Structure formats: C-alpha cells, structure tokens
Amino acid sequence: MKAVILAAGKGERMKPLTNTRSKMLLPIAGRPVLEYVLSSLRDTEIRDVTLVVGHRKEEIKNRFGDGDELGLSLSYVEQPEQKGTAHAISFTDIDETFVVLNGDVYCDAESLVGTIRKHEGEDAVATVGTYRVKSAASYGVVRVKDGRVAEIVEKPGKTSDQLINAGVYVFEPEIYDAIKETPYSERREREITTSIDNLVEEGKNILANELGSWVHVGRPWDLLAANERALKHQTPIVKGEIEPNAQVPDDVTIDEGTNVKSGTYIEGPAYIGKNCEIGPNCYIRRFTSIGNDVHIGNAVEIKNSIILDGTHAAHHSYVGDSIVGANCNFGSGTKVGNLRLDAGNVMMTLRGKLVDTGRRKLGAVLGDEVQTGINSMINPGVKMGPRSAIGPGVVLYKDLSPNRCVLVKQKGEERAWRE
C-alpha cells in the first residue's frame, strides 16, 4: 500500500513562526511536525510515500530527501497553488488502495493500522479517520450511522462532544473521479470532504473509524499541546554534560555538546538540544523543549514553552506557555506573561480575527530574531513578527508587525541634583 501526505500549505494561522519556515518543519520535542507523520507510517507496512508540496517546498525536500533516513521511500509532487485538499490529491495518480494524511496531523500507528484494516475488511470506496473532541467549532463534524459516514459538516459553530474529520483517509482509486466532479467552494478551494459527501449522496459505502489518539497542529497553542504529548512519549537520553548540584530527572533528554551548569533545576519531561548553555541557577519546568545553540542563563525560568535554535535569555527573565522563534535575544528582566489579570481565556489574533484560544494560560508567540530590552514585558496572547523589537521598560499589549520597534518615550523634569 502507498501513502500520500499533504504538505503544501502556507500555515497562515501559525504566523509569525511560518513567516520564515515551512509549517511542516516547526519543532516538536526537537523533531519537525512532518517527521511525526512520517514516523506513524513507518510503523505500519507502508514504505512508498508521496509528499504533495508547494509553499517553501525546497525546505521540505532538503530536510527529508529520499526518506532513507526514516526507512521510507519518498517522492514529491508539486501543488503550485494551494486550492484545497481535493485539489492537492488530484496531483497524484495511484492505481491501488492508498492512505492520505494531512501533514499537520498525526495519530498513533495502531489507530492508523486499525483504519486501514477496517477499510480492507469491507467493500468501501473510502474510510475516514475520526476523533472525538469537546469543541468541534473549527473542524468538520462527521455524522456517523452504523459505522458509516452519513454527512460531513464543515465548521458547524458551537458544538460539544463530537466526532471530527481527523485528516486521515483510506481511498480507492475511484476517489479521483469524485475529485474531478468536486466544485470549488466559496473560499475558491476544492475540498476532499466535499468529494466524500458527494460519494455519500451517491450511495457509496464510506466508512468511519474512530482514532485512539490524534493531534492537529493548526494553531500556535496546538503546537504546545503536541509538544506535551511528544515529550510524554519520548525515550530520554543524556549525551551532554551535567555539572554537580544541577537537578536533572530521568525523563529529560539532553543532546550532545550541551552543558547544564550548577544550580540548574529541571522538571521533566523536557527536551534540550545540542550545544546549549543552561544555567547556572535557572529553572526549566515541565513540557519545555529547547532547540540547539540556546543559552538559558542565571535566574531565568522557562515553563511549558518551545524555544527555537540560537535564542538567548541570559539573565532574570520569565517565559511561560510560549513559543519563541530562532535567534531571539531577551534583555535582562524580560517577562512574558501567560495569565490574564481576570484569569479569563487568553485571546489571540489569527488571520485578522480575535480568537478564543480556550486556554487559561498561554503566553506569546515570537518570530525569529526578536529582541527585547531590559525590564520589558509581553502580555498573554501577543505575537511579535520576525526582526521586531521592544525597548527597555515597554509593556507590549498588542501584536507587533515584522521589522517594527516599540520604544518608551521618557517624560520627566530634569533638575539639579546634589549641588
């Protein structure tokens, strides 16, 4: 059996992180999002995988090559314009039963195998992987009757305890004929859910299979949830150096060339990459992932966050529930807040609209090469674009565009002193 992975999207909701990299290469516990998807296939009998690429395609090709490193055989086809999932699949041509996965979701191999087996056990044109969530407002809800798909309703608004379309499919080649007949939506996209709905209306046998575990990385806070899940399942290993009087539990990974200095206290699970300088006297809390060449220094606390390569927070800073891009530099005393004063859900702007993240604790999302001045503060839910900066003493309440700087203009009266 062969597989197709849809990896052509721009990741608009992941900005500012995707201003400078493919969404598929965003890190989760030291590995790209797409690598987890590929690994779930590796744990099945599938070895032949086609990646549908488009936006920043060369980055993906350079990172994964022919797939030999992962024990897979990878090939690539290009979707020049991103016009929906059905449109993406139409660039492939497979004449046997095949699996399709969205590149920003991954499920456990057992669930994937179960979906394949259910499809093979019955005379079905397609099988849709589903997952049960508390709120399905931003997903496609799958109505199921007797184990078969009755309808897929896109983004139905307020819902509770619903089965959603998980972006995991098994198809027969007949799906290509359905795609050809699929019209463009109001968003000018051809969606595979529309193709499937049309097959349901034609009376075709479309199965549903509920997955045991599933993670979708569509929004910045989803990246934190995926990171937490990955860290819980990592096989920890210590290759770096740990100085005396540093506290490092058994569920922490520390890669080669990293030095954990005296007085550092780490709570696991956590991940620290290569050639990092951690400490002295810093506090790394649970579910934190730190990339390569990072410096976390004296009296710095990092909690439930993802810190990308080359970032420096040398002294007296706090970062909570945040994602910090590559090569950022924090001035002494920088604080990134993660809790509103009224303890309400944190709001974040995505695609120009203010969205309720559903999280009581969520910090900031910083693009690459952000700089902060001493004693500056960033409020919960704020995003800073690549190469932006805030000066000493600034309190940032709203998003900051790339290449922009906010400074405090000092006001006061100068007078004689100690004459």
Residues with a known catalytic role: 315
CB atoms within 10 A of CB 86: 25
CA distance 193 to 291: 37
218, 369, 371, 384 from 403: Cα distances, Å: 25, 10, 11, 9
CB atoms within 10 A of CB 161: 9
Task: Determine contact, residues 53/40, Cβ cutoff 8 Å.
Answer: no
Q: Which among 335, 351, 319, 309 has a CA at the least distance from the CA of 390?
A: 335
CA 115 distance to own-chain centroid: 24
For 201, residues 6+ apart whose C-beta sits below 8 A from its C-beta are none
29, 97, 145, 185, 192 from 175: Cα distances, Å: 36, 10, 21, 18, 9
Cis peptide bond N-terminal to 269, omega within 30: yes
- β-strand partners of 320: 303
Please list, residue by residue across 43-64, b when 16 or more beta carbons sit within 10 angstroms of its beta carbon and e when fewer do.
eeebbebbbbbbbbbeebeeeb
